Chain A
Amino acid sequence: MHPYLPNTSEDVKEMLDVIGLENTEDLFKTIPANLRLKKELNLPKSKSEIEVRGIMNGLAAKNSSIDELVCFLGAGSYDHYIPSVIKHVVSRSEFYTAYTPYQPEISQGTLQSVFEYQSMMCTLTGMEVSNVSMYDAATSASEGAILASVQTKRKKVLVSRTLNPEYQAVLETYLSFREVDIEFVDEKDGVTDIENLRDKLDSDTAGVILQYPNFYGVIENIKEMEEMIHENKSLLIMSVDPIALGVLKSPGELKADIVVGEGQALGQNLNYGGPVLGFMAATSKLMRKMPGRIVGQTLDREGKRAFVLTLQAREQHIRRYKATSNICSDQTLNSITAAVYMATLGKQGMKEVAVQSFKKAHYTFEKLTESGKYKPLFNQPFFKEFAIKCDKPVDEINEALREKGILGGFNLKKVNEKLGDSMLIAVTENRTMEEIEKFVQIMEEI
């Protein structure tokens, strides 16, 4: 009948005989008749692949992706180079059609890949433990905030206004329901207002969330803030760009307690925002309260090294109501994708990607601000993203750019009126020098 339904009418008859029923309708006798759906579902009938392809290709044709538009848009989602091997390895059905590795003997592929992912995340972030994954940066920041509150037994979390506005919004939702207070620390000149932070830190503060580099691409003075945060016996939670850590000091070196962030840049496609990869790493002190799955190394009964989901007593299927988090399905395949990416780039590549992104962004910045038509919005050190003041509405500029095949930067006025007409531009190693020259030239002409 349908390619995904193998039962022939003969099969059905044989099975009904074994069960002792007349027809398949009888299977549903336990459902009260008054609840039964008496009509067909109001959906189109089944379609062949040829028809489905026609429909989906038609829909796709209405989209322009970043293969057609040269991408200078970032704001949390980045067009980094994705090595070809990734797709070929991760699309192996043994990885993507596998279930959660609750039976470790037949899931060593998934478990070892994730163990390697955890290992690389630990050295990248400088932390002692990493979990398998969370949904995304926004929810992992929220889970980090809740973790801090549970650990310190304090009821408030401070969040910098220089965090990605999407993360701020999700944090507000999550924490308001969990009855953890959220207070925002002002932004000043593109960084967290340190004096405002000092004022707001009190005995009720469980943790402070800072982004590194922040939403505006700026590298903030984490050290000074870290000192006052820890003096207050609060936890430092940092939301980081994993690519930047190829060259910037790791959050571990900066004494973070909890590290979260977006792993999309680690070999994932943009996927219109999802699925992506939230990650969380922490000090070993917090290990037993960390949400999410964790893979550990052990031995089998023949003394062979093996990997298994461990510390499961933290999770919902055991702790139920008392679990710190309700997470069950996560983003495992995306963690495996990140592992393959990090293994492919390796020690040298992670550094080179970071360096080239940095240099190309700074080159673009210098060229764009050369003539004086565009001025820097902030006077701050940045990594691969920067903001410029524009002489006309950003949406207008972006329309003009689109006509020339370029996806322009983010309109900052949309999230912060005070910043006026200003654009947040991201430049990664994936941009060629020609693309950058063309971009600058067009920007000058608009």
Chain B
Amino acid sequence: MAYEKLIFELSKPGRKSYALPEDTLKDMNISDYIGADYLREEELEFPEVSELEVVRHYTLLSKKNYSIDSGFYPLGSCTMKYNPKINEDVAANPKFARLHPFQPEDTVQENIKEISGMDAVTLQPAAGAHGELVGLMLIKKYHQMRNDKKRNKIIVPDSAHGTNPASVAVAGFDVVEVPSNKDGSVDIDALKGVLSDEIAGLMLTNPSTLGLFEKNIKEIADLVHEAGGLLYYDGANMNAIMGIVRPGDMGFDVLHYNLHKTFSTPHGGGGPGSGPVACKASLMEYMPVPMVGSDNGRYFLDYNVEHTIGKVKNYFGNFGVVLRAYVYMLSMGSDGLKAASTNAVLNANYMKESLKDHYKVAVDQTCMHEVVFAGLKTKTDKVSTLDVAKRIIDYGYHPPTMYFPLIVEGALMVEPTETESKETLDAYIEVMKQIAEEAKETPELLKDAPHDTPVRRLDEALAARQLILHWTKE
């Protein structure tokens, strides 16, 4: 019998799951200091439960979750690799976790610069999208400082992740969408058509969101630079190229990393992540403050960045997440990181070869760390990509990324990562093949999926129409 209660439904007046030392200041009354105008009147509708009930409640809830520790997530573009436990141990060390941000200083930065081929790094951004925003701000400032006021547009390919155009808008630019070729690469002629003196820059991922290396990247970089623009690298697909090729060497001027993707920090059900930004020397003086400076082995927080764009987050960034990534980089080292990328690419190509008779490979060439399928090989109206995905859940796996990139119809993006064994990949491949058969023979199994999960397929339209966004006491 699945666990069905909300914590509020366990509540009973008088129950306690905490204890504070006795209040020895009994003669002090808050109402002597604060007038009734600012004292709370509305009841706080919080639960009252015992400590065991808290523990049991959340433990039972957690068991309804799929997670990396319990299963494979072939999620394209998310790099769901193993989250090493030593990272957690280090981050939990009170001498790191219980530091007040305004205490006197020290920290870490050099490794990220080396992997990217860039000249300066900031660890402030709290997520990939945040990093994108910072990168775009750097680009804007760069042009502003050159009094080049016409450049208010950023080019974004139609294959881009949604955060790219959204970040462009938040940074105060206009978006110019450029179509991609069928293989997801930038259409050079189309690009030439939109380059002008109004273009501040181009945002790109390499490998592309179709998992393919952008062969013409040098030409693209040259074109954009000649037109006076800068190149932004979305680091989401970094897992394919560590130690193989560097964005800085490809001609990119600024990039962000997703530590919660490439660098093994956990997803936490949606966050926290971290999106450090690295840039070339030309943008260094605009980086957000504070940067980390070193002076004879002692590190300090440097607020003297001449033309900084300012602060983009409280304090210094998601330190706890950066710390985990640092431990990962120490563990993996130069050889390990390269091996990780090599194996990630190997595994993805193995997936591609093994599934291409059952699922339509979007572009049949050697892929990088992920492969995109345009749904089932035998086109059918009876089942959709969504139905395939839900049926995968019945076999105990998390579905791949669905319906992204937008330029591939009914896309299924598979990214196995390097931390999965061949046995896991083979088992998953068998399941995918089985489902392709079922799609032909018994499509109802897909349409009704999933069958054995704590809840079955949800009415999302109802959720959006009749909004219940919090519990209410009856």
Contacts and interface: CB of A to CB of B under 8 A. Distances in A.
Q: Do they bind each other?
A: yes
B319 A4 contact: no
A173 B34 contact: no
Contacts of A178: 170-172
Interface stretch (A202-210, A241-249, A438-446): A241-249
Contacts of A287: 467, 469
Contacts of A18: 350, 353-354
Interface in A153-185: 166-167, 169-170, 172-174, 176-179
Contacts of A429: 20
Interface string A261-284: 010000001111111100000000
A286 interface: no
B76 interface: no
B190 interface: no
Contact of A27 (B16, B18, B96, B366): B366
Given A120-B46, A122-B470, A343-B49, A101 B270 contact: yes
Contacts of A49: 86, 331
A420 B326 CA distance: 40
A248 B288 CA distance: 36
Nearest to B460: A308
Contacts of B456: 105, 300-302, 304
A327 interface: yes
Interface string A126-138: 1011101101111
B463 A46 contact: no
A379 interface: no
Contacts of A276: 314
B252 to A, nearest CB: 11
Interface string A38-57: 00111111110100110111
Interface stretch (A91-99, A191-199, A369-377): A91-99
Interface string A298-315: 111110111010111101
Contact of A348 (B48, B213, B338): B48
Given A63-B99, A108-B64, A349-B18, A115 B398 contact: no
B316 A35 contact: no
Nearest to B23: A356
Contact of B268 (A53, A98, A313): A98
Contact of A326 (B33, B163, B172): B163
A381 B37 CA distance: 12
A323 B133 CA distance: 14
A114 B321 CA distance: 21
Contacts of B28: 359, 362-363
Contacts of A249: 37-41
A355 B468 CA distance: 32
B17, B66, B93, B132 — most chain A CB neighbours (10 Å)? B66
A401 interface: no
Contacts of A136: 126, 313-315
B381 interface: no
B303 to A, nearest CB: 10
B458 A52 contact: no
Contacts of B215: 30-32
A49 B333 CA distance: 12
Interface stretch (B2-10, B372-380, B435-443): B2-10
Contacts of B57: 343
Contacts of B273: 329
B340 A95 contact: no
Contacts of B291: none
Contact of B86 (A16, A53, A331): A53
Interface string B169-180: 111100100000
Given A98-B66, A328-B128, A273 B319 contact: yes
Interface stretch (B67-75, B191-199, B224-232): B67-75
B471 A274 contact: no
Interface string B82-123: 111010101011111111111100100001001100000000
Contact of A343 (B23, B54, B140, B275): B54
Query: Which of A137, A298, A305 has the most chain B CB atoms inside 10 A of its CB?
Result: A298
B101 A329 contact: no
A418 interface: no
Given A43-B333, A272-B320, A316 B269 contact: no
Nearest to A30: B213
A75 B315 CA distance: 11
B42 interface: yes
B218 to A, nearest CB: 7
B418 A5 contact: yes
Contacts of B7: 116, 343
Given A62-B106, A94-B67, A112-B6, A173 B467 contact: no
Contacts of B68: 93, 97-99
Nearest to A8: B422
Nearest to B51: A85
Centre residue among A46, A252, A322, A429 by max chain B CB count within 10 A: A46
Contacts of A28: 244-245, 345
A427 B264 CA distance: 37
Contacts of A103: 66, 389, 393, 398-399
A95 B335 CA distance: 31
A34 B161 CA distance: 28
A362 B27 CA distance: 12
A176 B136 CA distance: 13
Which of the four size classes fits the interface of chain A?
35 or more
A76 B316 CA distance: 13
Contacts of B34: 219, 248, 381
Contacts of B49: 343, 346
Interface in B191-217: 212-213, 215, 217
A326 B312 contact: no
A326 B169 contact: yes
B41 to A, nearest CB: 7
B173 to A, nearest CB: 9
Given A109-B62, A321-B165, A329-B270, A41 B245 contact: no
A359 to B, nearest CB: 4
A253 B43 CA distance: 11
Contacts of B250: 35
Contacts of B24: 433
Contacts of B245: 28, 31, 35-37
Given A4-B332, A6-B421, A37-B245, A123 B45 contact: yes
Nearest to A270: B100
A387 interface: no
Contacts of A107: 64-66, 269
B339 to A, nearest CB: 6
B108 to A, nearest CB: 8
B455 A306 contact: yes
Given A43-B333, A294-B469, A336-B269, A272 B99 contact: yes
Contact of A61 (B95, B342, B422): B95
Interface in B220-267: 241-246, 249-250, 258, 260, 264, 266-267
A2 B341 CA distance: 13
A315 B13 CA distance: 39
A419 to B, nearest CB: 16
Contacts of B111: 43
Contacts of B20: 81, 349, 352-353, 356, 429
B334 interface: yes
B349 interface: yes
B271 A333 contact: yes
Contacts of A310: 460, 463-464, 467, 469
5 shortest interchain CB distances as A-B pairs = A273-B315, A333-B268, A332-B270, A273-B101, A173-B310
22 contacts: A12-B346, A19-B352, A35-B217, A42-B114, A43-B333, A52-B330, A53-B86, A66-B100, A97-B69, A118-B470, A124-B44, A135-B272, A138-B313, A177-B137, A246-B40, A246-B44, A287-B467, A310-B469, A327-B127, A328-B128, A330-B270, A332-B272
